[in-house]
Amino acid sequence: MLLVDDHPAVLRQTMELLAGEFRVAAALHDGAQLDAAVAEHRPDLIVLDITLPGASGIDLARRLTASRCTAKIVFLTVHADADYVRAAFDAGASGYVIKSRLASDLLPALHAALEGRRFVSPGRGLEESR
């Protein structure tokens, strides 16, 4: 699994949450090295923030999907907005987790993605995007 988030505290919290259940091959602070990390590690899952320096996570997901990357992409973001949810799934995402629900939603979202199911954190206005 790869993690991509520009906030070190979020990366630490996510890695602690995943410990014991998932192996994190790399934690990146932006998308600049994402292609190289995907080629090196061949992850089954990528947890990706939307707001990143340099390129948005949505653009990175589109690029990965276009390159036929087989990793399941789960967004972990502050954006609790149906338009972002739709854009994420249009870009090839399998899951969409709101950062405020990290502890309760990330593991279920990752399991759903691996099982071929979609996951969206519950929230006002997000239901129609599921």
What is the share, in percent, of the chain residues with pLDDT greater than 90? 92
62-87 tens-digit pLDDT: 999 999 999 999 999 999 999 999 99
- Classified by CATH at the fold level, domain 2-122 comes out as Rossmann fold (3.40.50)
The pTM assigned to this predicted structure is 0.94
Alpha carbons 49 and 23: distance in angstroms, whole number = 18
Q: Residues 79, 123: contact at Cβ < 8 Å?
A: no
Alpha carbons 15 and 85: distance in angstroms, whole number = 24
Nearest CA to 45 among 102, 104, 95? 95
82-101 tens-digit pLDDT: 999 999 999 999 999 999 99
Hey, where are the domains in the chain?
A: 2-122
DSSP bridge partners of 95: 74, 119
